[in-house]
Structure 1
Amino acid sequence: MTAMIAQIVTQIMLPIVLALVMLGMGLSLKIKDFKAILSDPKVTIIGLLLQLLLLPILALIIINVFSLNQIAAAGLFLLALCPGGATSNLFSFIAKGNLALSVCLTSIVSMLSPFIIPIAFVGFIHYSGSANNQYFNLPLLPAIKQLALVTLLPTVIGMCIRYFANEWSQSIIPVIKKGSTIAMLLVVSALVLTNLTLVPSMFSLQGGAVITLCSLALIITYFIAGKLNVNETDRKTMAIEVGVQNAGTAMMVAFTVMHQPALATVPLMYGLLMNIPAFIFVYWVLNKDKTALPINAKT
């Protein structure tokens, strides 16, 4: 019975919920949103480079420092290849960041992810010497098709709906966002309940690796953005976008595309544990802004 529930959750519910999240993102976008960002591309380019390069590099460093086993290492690297998601957009909103930038970065990386994730992950498999491991059989073209079907296509459909039915699309965005958030929480809860043996591992090296990846991504991105003279609002947005990943995408690849639940262990842990450093970071930047106000007022 438990196995059947797990199969329904991973093979049916998870892809549907992820597609629903991406549809909601598409409904919130217009072509002019991309034009506005591209008119001043510096921040966007920095954010994309940090997302696409810094995060995988951090994951490789953490894998070696923590001496993670092959499956945990693959799960962490898979996670590092994923885009931000609705969660990163939510944290950016709470932190009073640039929500348009957050959604734009999430959208661009999400649209690229059907191509980036399979190619980069196959590269990691060969780099780590795990090509002959049964857990790492990722057929390239089927993976690209499945990811495009669940991430890219719903986003494009959402944008088309907004273009042809703007008022109606705006009226249903709150419903889709609330519904997809609740559904994702239910899916994660169901995955935890059907994989209770994973809970103790959250307090192991794997759990430490997950929190370290999120924490370092937040801190390093915020530091680099500051050194590159990015304004404070965009700076904290970029940090959250790079630091908070869409664990649902990684879990879908592990469960639905590769049919290897073991690879979903680290992403599943991340979906729960990343909230700790993310909330600490948001609390810090909000209070940092408050303490800076009197100084700015005097100058």
Structure 2
Amino acid sequence: MDSPLVTVLVPLVLAVIMFGLGLSLTVGDFRRVATYPRTVILALVCQLVLLPAVCFGLVLAFGLAAAPAVGMLLLAASPGGTMANVYSHLFGGDVALNITLTAINSVLAVFTLPLVVNLAIDWFEPGDGGQVGLQFTKTLQVFALVLIPVGLGMYVRARRIDLARRAERPVKQLSLVILAGVIVAALVAERGNVGEYLAEVGLVATLFSIVSLATGYGAARLASGGHAQGVAVCMEIGMHNTSLAMTIALSPTLLDSAEIAVPSAVYSILVYFTAGAAGLLLRRAAARTAARA
């Protein structure tokens, strides 16, 4: 995975994804935390602390090999993905809450994600000399590749909101097209091992998805949030940003490992089904509650 094409494209994909996210954010998205502080705080604790711990337990229980294990922890440490907003909207969630959590967690992940990944590498690949780790210089690279594009996107939206609205969708589409090409290249390079990877991480990824979704809804209701807030947190916590995780895993300047990217690739497919099923179940539960009332 060290071809010049991938070396240039992968960091570009990450920058484009983050710029597209910035185009959808405003300073007000960060201020909105004051509207439902308990829900936001509990959701962030679950996202940043509880779920990585749960993922670590699953990885140990199923005895995953080092690279897939690190990949699962990378996935667990990633913030909510953009599809969480779409699913939240489809199933009656509080989309404004999704945006708030995405905005805050995307910034926090710049610091927490390298920490979780480093700890995972130290545990599963001891004595490796940190060669695949996110060392300080690489942490700075993540910071630059994530926060700078997000900041630029927010700046464009603040100064030219009409341009930001027109550019938001094409930017997302462009990033997905480029990312798809990189992922295909990675899978082709590892084609002899894909079946083995799927067999190894499929069940763990499915269980982690289910636990993430259930934790999100439960956390919001525990914080006295309503059904709409429960759906929003369910999707935000349950639909991790697999694009970000895979890009970091594949980047030659970061982890440079197709094996570490496999759990996120598997999860990115499975989560559409698990999140859809969760949304339908929650919608039916809300309908039954309304009928009894």
Residues 235 and 212 of structure 1, relative CA distance in 2, 3 Å threshold: same
Distance of 1:189 and 1:241 partners within structure 2: 26
Distance of 1:90 and 1:15 partners within structure 2: 25
Deviations 1:72-102 (A, max 9, x none): 2111111111111212222222222122211
Residues 193 and 89 of structure 1, relative CA distance in 2, 3 Å threshold: farther
Partner of 1:294: 291
Amino acid at match of 1:284: L
Residue 188 in structure 1 maps to residue 177 in structure 2: no
Alignment equivalent of 2:211, drawn from 195, 216, 221: 216
Using the TM superposition, give the Cα deviation of residue 246 of structure 1 relative to its aligned residue in structure 2, in angstroms. 1.2
Distance of 2:10 and 2:153 partners within structure 1: 19
- Which segments of 5 or more consecutive residues in structure 1 lack a partner in the other structure? none
Distance of 2:199 and 2:124 partners within structure 1: 24
Amino acid at match of 1:114: V
Amino acid at match of 1:37: V
Partner of 2:272: 275
Residues 54 and 289 of structure 1, relative CA distance in 2, 3 Å threshold: same
Using the TM superposition, give the Cα deviation of residue 134 of structure 1 relative to its aligned residue in structure 2, in angstroms. 6.3
Residues 219 and 202 of structure 1, relative CA distance in 2, 3 Å threshold: farther
Distance of 2:73 and 2:31 partners within structure 1: 32
Residues 268 and 151 of structure 1, relative CA distance in 2, 3 Å threshold: same
Using the TM superposition, give the Cα deviation of residue 218 of structure 1 relative to its aligned residue in structure 2, in angstroms. 0.7
SS in 2 for 1:196: coil
What is the identity percentage for the equivalent residue pairs of Structure 1 and Structure 2? 24
Using the TM superposition, give the Cα deviation of residue 261 of structure 1 relative to its aligned residue in structure 2, in angstroms. 2.3
Residues 238 and 264 of structure 1, relative CA distance in 2, 3 Å threshold: same
Distance of 2:197 and 2:270 partners within structure 1: 8
Residues 157 and 243 of structure 1, relative CA distance in 2, 3 Å threshold: same
Alignment TM-score, normalising by the size of structure 1: 0.87
Distance of 2:218 and 2:105 partners within structure 1: 22
Using the TM superposition, give the Cα deviation of residue 260 of structure 1 relative to its aligned residue in structure 2, in angstroms. 2.5
For the Cα contact (< 8 Å) 2:198–2:266, is it kept in 1? no
Alignment TM-score, normalising by the size of structure 2: 0.89
Alignment of 1:221-240 (within 5 A): 221-240=216-235
Partner of 2:242: 247
Using the TM superposition, give the Cα deviation of residue 138 of structure 1 relative to its aligned residue in structure 2, in angstroms. 1.4
Residue 79 in structure 1 maps to residue 66 in structure 2: no
Partner of 2:263: 266
Partner of 1:19: 15
Residues 181 and 139 of structure 1, relative CA distance in 2, 3 Å threshold: closer
Residues 243 and 198 of structure 1, relative CA distance in 2, 3 Å threshold: farther
Residue 132 in structure 1 maps to residue 124 in structure 2: no
Distance of 1:280 and 1:73 partners within structure 2: 26
SS in 1 for 2:49: helix
Alignment of 1:101-112 (within 5 A): 101-112=97-108
Amino acid at match of 1:105: L
Partner of 2:282: 285
Residues 185 and 294 of structure 1, relative CA distance in 2, 3 Å threshold: farther
Alignment equivalent of 2:117, drawn from 107, 121, 124: 121
Residues 215 and 205 of structure 1, relative CA distance in 2, 3 Å threshold: same
Partner of 2:194: 199
Using the TM superposition, give the Cα deviation of residue 139 of structure 1 relative to its aligned residue in structure 2, in angstroms. 4.5
Partner of 1:89: 85
Using the TM superposition, give the Cα deviation of residue 122 of structure 1 relative to its aligned residue in structure 2, in angstroms. 1.7
Distance of 1:198 and 1:129 partners within structure 2: 20
Distance of 1:249 and 1:50 partners within structure 2: 19
Amino acid at match of 1:207: G
For the Cα contact (< 8 Å) 1:113–1:147, is it kept in 2? no
Using the TM superposition, give the Cα deviation of residue 59 of structure 1 relative to its aligned residue in structure 2, in angstroms. 0.6
Using the TM superposition, give the Cα deviation of residue 198 of structure 1 relative to its aligned residue in structure 2, in angstroms. 4.2
